[in-house]
Homo-oligomer: A and B are copies of this chain.
Amino acid sequence: MYVILVYDIGQKRVGKMLKLCRRYLHWVQNSVFEGEITEVKLKELVYEAKRIMDEDQDSLILFKNRDAKWMDKQIIGQERSPTDQFL
């Protein structure tokens, strides 16, 4: 499946979260990631994220698409990320 992940996380935990997300997805911009991922790998990512997060303060949102083909991406201005996973 194709996911877009956005987080809003306390300064102290942000480095760990960035590192974790980079292991599973492609960095897009700021605290935004995207990529193709399996259900199992996504569960792993969420499990690890929860261990980093303070769930009373931090927020992590996943937008899941069954397939990237249902989605279209438009970039205005600078493209922060060098990779583009869209066909």
Interface residues of A in 1-50 (CB under 8 A from B): 4, 6-8, 28-32, 34, 46, 49-50
> How far does the Cβ of A67 sit from chain B's closest Cβ, in whole Å?
8
Chain B residue nearest to A42 (CB atoms) is B74
A6 to B79 CA separation, bound complex (whole angstroms): 12
Contacts of A50 in B (CB 8 A): 76
A6 to B30 CA separation, bound complex (whole angstroms): 9
Q: Is there contact, CB below 8 Å, between A65 and B70? A: yes
Q: Is there contact, CB below 8 Å, between B62 and A77? A: no
B-contacting residues of A (Cβ < 8 Å)? 4, 6-8, 28-32, 34, 46, 49-50, 53-66, 70-80
